[in-house]
Every structure is written in structure tokens, then in C-alpha cells.
């Protein structure tokens, strides 16, 4: 199963980005092959509609779960209809490697 | 005389209360209905517009057979408002039936949302996109300690859950959650046999 994590940088030690649509990088972790892929977010500087555009990038890659800090008003109904699970991490800053570690429980 | 006129004018300009956003679980599967076998075709007949919130009220009440109180909580509106939405839904469906008009399901002040949970171990929030499958563990850390979270409100003030409704025993202060349609005064405290009261009704 593929899991997308929003990240502030392109290393495993980067923190989880609190924004979804305008995060710096998407980290796509495949729990079967244990592979990690970094995608720079092309929608970082977009003034409007960054969320839905980012959803499209992730949906094309067949992501089932998304870990982020928050999801916007336009993104939530879209992900609901695509049946993608949202995991919101607030208050506790975590690095990408922390997330991957706990995903392998 | 002039003052009365001024007051009247200002009250006329007052805008109505803002409608609460109604919570809808799933968008409807279809966009509307078409009648068939019309006796005579009326070219000017407009279609009846059933709002999505009215569709949801009908689905909760008649398809899922919740009572109106529970259904109103699910939609995040008050019970009287829910009754109004439901009555308007029946009125529109009856109109479409009797007059043989088309029905379009669209519009309304709604948002779509799924259930949210919070994990007690890693403190993350997560939702359940597959409504038919029950969640057994936290998707992040695999912990089985999680709870339904009513407070995750990405749409502030969009939904409201009424304050917790509790029945209290007057003697030993035993409490349990009030069951709707079951008057507290008819209940007996399981611990001491005293008479129960609704907490909100007790005058301090």
C-alpha cells in the first residue's frame, strides 16, 4: 500500500509539513517494497487551487493514505470521494522517518 | 411617529440568520428522476429541485430509519430545523409525483464528511473513507486504542453536537447518559434506587 507524507525537505530527517497543498515535497512510501520516493511539489507557489492539484498528483500514483498536518476545505470532500484515508498530525512535530517507522508497526 | 417609522425601516433591512452548513455523509448516487408515461406533455413544466440536504434528511429518516433527533445530530442541525428540512423534502417529492414533474437533486448548503477518530497512542487524527468497513486499529501506529472524535472540526462551527445529556440520581449522584425518548423521571437509579433527574433541569 502506498502512503504519501507531506515533507518540508527531501531527506528522511525532514519534518512533516503542516500544509497539504503547498508543502515542499511529497514523500511516497510503499509499504510492500519499502521504497521511498520524493516528489517536489510543483504547486508550492500557486495562489489558488493548490490542494486539488496536489490531490491529482497523488491520485495518479495510487496513494491510499496521506499523512499531513491539515487538509483544506476543497481537499477533504475530494479525498473522501476518492476513498483516500487522511491522517492528521497536529501539535506533535514528527520527522518523516518517525512516520515510516510507526507505519511499519 | 417618525421614530416608529425609523425602527420599522431598520428592522426591514435586517438580514436573516446565517444558515448552518448541513453535514452530508455521501453525495447522492443519481442527479434526479424523470417520470415516464405522461398523459400529456407540458412543455413549460419546470423540474422540482430537491436540495441535497433534503435528500440526506430523507435518507437518514426513512432509509436508515433513524429518529429525527439522532438524524439531526448527524447532520449538525437542530431538531426543529431537521423537521423543517424533512417536511420540505416530502412536500417537493409529493409535488413531483402528483404533477408528473422531473426532479433534480442538487444545491443546498451542505458539505460532505466522513467519521473522524483520534488515536490515544500517537495522538494523530484519521478518518474512515470506507464507510462499510469498521476500523480496528490506528492506520499510523497500529494501536487499538482509539476513539471517535466529534471535535475535529476542520469547518469551524459547521457542526455542533448538543451538550452531553446526562441523567443524575438525586441521592447518590450516579450518572448515565440520557436515552432519547425515555424520560429520566421514569428511571430508577441502579445503585441506590433513587429517582433520576435530567442534569440540565436541576436548579442549583
Which pLDDT tens digit goes with each residue over B145-184? 887 765 544 444 333 344 567 788 888 888 877 776 777 7
Same domain for B78 and B30: yes
| Full domain range(s) for residue B132 | 113-159
Residue B140 in domain: yes
Q: Is B125 on the interface with A (CB under 8 A)?
A: yes
Q: Is the pLDDT of residue B18 over 90?
A: no
3-class SS of residue A89: coil
Of the candidates B75, B92, B110, which is a domain's last residue? B110
pLDDT computed for residue B202 by the predictor: 61
**Nearest-angstrom CA–CA distance, B52 and B42:** 26
In contact, B126 and B152? CB cutoff 8 Å: no
Indicate whether this model's pTM tops 0.95. Answer: no
Q: Where are the alpha helices (DSSP H) in A1-105?
A: 50-60, 75-82, 96-103
Based on the structure, what is the number of domains in chain B? 3
Interface of A with B (CB under 8 A): 65, 67, 70-71, 73, 76-77, 79-92, 99, 102-103, 105
Instruction: Please judge whether A105 and B141 are an interchain contact, meaning their C-beta atoms are less than 8 angstroms apart.
Output: yes
Residue B52 in domain: yes
**Nearest-angstrom CA–CA distance, B123 and B152:** 12
Residue B87 in domain: yes
Of the candidates B144, B159, B174, which is a domain's last residue? B159
User: Mean pLDDT across the stretch B60-79?
Assistant: 91
DSSP letters, B138-180, are -TTT--S-EEE-S---SSTTT---PPP-EEEETTT--EEEPPT
In contact, B117 and B135? CB cutoff 8 Å: yes
Domain A2-103: give its CATH architecture.
2-Layer Sandwich (3.30)
Residue B11 in domain: no
User: Mean pLDDT across the stretch B29-55?
Assistant: 86
pLDDT computed for residue B60 by the predictor: 93
Q: Where are the domains of chain A?
A: 2-103
In contact, A5 and A26? CB cutoff 8 Å: yes
Same domain for B93 and B68: yes
User: CA nearest B103: which of B90, B86, B116?
Assistant: B90
Per-residue pLDDT of chain A (105 residues; tens, 9 = 90+): 889 999 998 888 888 988 888 999 999 999 888 889 999 999 888 888 888 999 999 999 989 899 998 888 778 878 887 888 888 888 778 888 888 888 887
Same domain for B98 and B28: yes
Instruction: Please judge whether B128 and A85 are an interchain contact, meaning their C-beta atoms are less than 8 angstroms apart.
Output: yes
Amino acid at each position: 500500500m502506498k502512503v504519501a507524507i507531506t515533507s518540508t525537505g527531501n531527506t528522511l530527517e525532514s519534518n512533516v509539513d503542516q500544509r497539504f497543498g503547498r508543502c515542499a515535497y511529497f514523500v511516497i512510501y510503499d509499504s510492500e517494497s519499502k521504497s521511498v520516493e520524493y516528489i517536489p511539489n510543483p504547486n508550492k507557489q500557486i495562489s489558488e487551487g493548490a490542494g486539488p492539484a496536489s490531490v491529482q498528483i497523488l491520485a495518479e500514483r495510487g496513494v491510499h493514505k496521506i499523512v499531513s498536518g491539515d487538509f483544506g476545505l476543497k481537499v477533504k470532500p475530494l479525498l473522501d470521494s476518492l476513498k483516500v484515508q487522511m491522517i492528521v498530525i497536529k501539535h506533535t512535530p514528527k520527522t518523516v522517518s518517525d512516520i515510516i517507522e510507526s507505519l511499519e508497526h | 411617529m417618525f421614530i416608529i417609522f425609523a425602527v420599522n425601516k431598520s428592522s426591514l433591512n435586517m438580514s436573516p440568520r446565517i444558515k448552518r452548513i448541513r453535514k452530508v455523509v455521501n453525495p447522492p448516487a443519481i442527479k434526479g428522476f424523470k417520470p415516464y408515461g405522461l398523459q400529456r406533455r407540458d412543455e413549460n413544466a419546470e423540474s422540482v429541485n430537491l436540495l441535497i440536504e433534503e435528500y440526506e434528511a430523507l435518507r437518514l429518516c426513512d432509509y436508515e430509519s433513524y429518529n429525527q433527533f439522532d438524524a439531526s445530530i448527524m447532520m449538525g442541525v437542530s431538531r426543529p430545523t431537521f423537521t423543517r428540512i424533512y417536511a420540505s423534502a416530502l412536500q417537493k417529492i409529493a409535488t413531483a409525483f402528483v404533477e408528473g414533474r422531473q426532479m433534480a437533486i442538487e444545491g443546498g448548503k451542505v458539505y460532505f464528511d466522513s467519521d473522524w477518530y483520534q488515536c490515544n497512542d500517537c495522538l494523530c487524527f484519521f478518518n474512515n473513507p470506507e464507510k462499510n468497513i469498521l476500523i480496528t486499529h490506528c492506520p499510523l501506529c497500529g494501536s487499538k486504542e482509539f476513539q471517535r472524535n466529534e471535535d475535529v472540526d476542520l469547518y469551524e462551527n459547521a457542526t455542533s453536537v448538543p451538550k452531553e445529556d446526562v441523567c443524575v440520581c438525586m441521592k447518590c449522584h450516579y450518572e448515565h447518559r440520557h436515552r432519547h425518548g425515555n424520560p429520566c423521571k421514569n428511571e430508577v437509579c441502579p445503585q441506590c434506587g433513587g429517582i433520576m433527574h435530567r442534569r440540565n433541569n436541576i436548579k442549583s
